[in-house]
């Protein structure tokens, strides 16, 4: 195994650096990656701090239709979105009256998509056109 002194640093690109150091020196990969990352600069060339925002949350929205039965909607809300009976009834009635309602909020887009996919598959199996959408929620 080669040591640090035997590797000429100017002999390979950033991609090579990351790959080789990952296999040879482990944690140094992070340092090299940070070194080669582009830094935000103002027009004067001075580094500026990047403000990190908290990760998005994702709202699952249920939409009304004239064919899906109220009983089926309540069942989906209880089985897939884990709402209790009273919460499910409240959401179902709000969707019926207002046309749509937020069903749940997830920190992960993947989780929101999984829940929507399961609910829509259940509706499709029963022949209902139940529709959902997912919207990002920016929290300040």
Give the model confidence (pLDDT) of 40-69 as tens digits: 555 666 666 666 666 679 999 999 999 999
Residue 76 CA to residue 11 CA, distance in Å, equals 59
Biggest alpha carbon–alpha carbon distance for the chain? 72
Determine the pLDDT at residue 125.
97
End-to-end Cα distance, the chain: 49
Residue 21 CA to residue 82 CA, distance in Å, equals 46
What ranges do the domains of the chain cover? 12-36, 57-137
Determine the pLDDT at residue 9.
45
70-79 and 109-126 helices cross at what angle (nearest 10)? 140
Instruction: List alpha helices for 59-137, DSSP H.
Output: 70-79, 85-98, 109-126
Mean pLDDT by 10 residues, the chain (140 residues): 46 41 44 50 64 79 96 98 98 97 96 97 97 87
What CATH number is given for 57-137 in this structure? 3.30.1390.10
């Amino acid at each position: 195994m080669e040591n640090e002194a035997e590797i000429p640093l100017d002999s390979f690109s950033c991609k090579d650096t990351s790959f080789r150091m990952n296999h040879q020196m482990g944690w140094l990969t992070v340092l090299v990656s940070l070194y080669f990352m582009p830094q935000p600069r103002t027009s004067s060339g001075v580094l500026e701090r990047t403000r990190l925002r908290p990760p998005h949350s994702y709202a699952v929205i249920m939409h009304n239709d004239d064919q899906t039965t109220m009983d089926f909607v309540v069942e989906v809300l209880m089985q897939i979105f884990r709402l209790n009976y009273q919460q499910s009834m409240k959401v179902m009635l709000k969707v019926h009256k207002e046309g749509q309602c937020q069903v749940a909020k997830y920190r992960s887009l993947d989780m929101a998509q999984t829940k929507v996919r399961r609910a829509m598959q259940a509706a499709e199996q029963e022949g209902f056109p139940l529709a959902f959408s997912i919207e990002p929620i920016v929290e300040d």
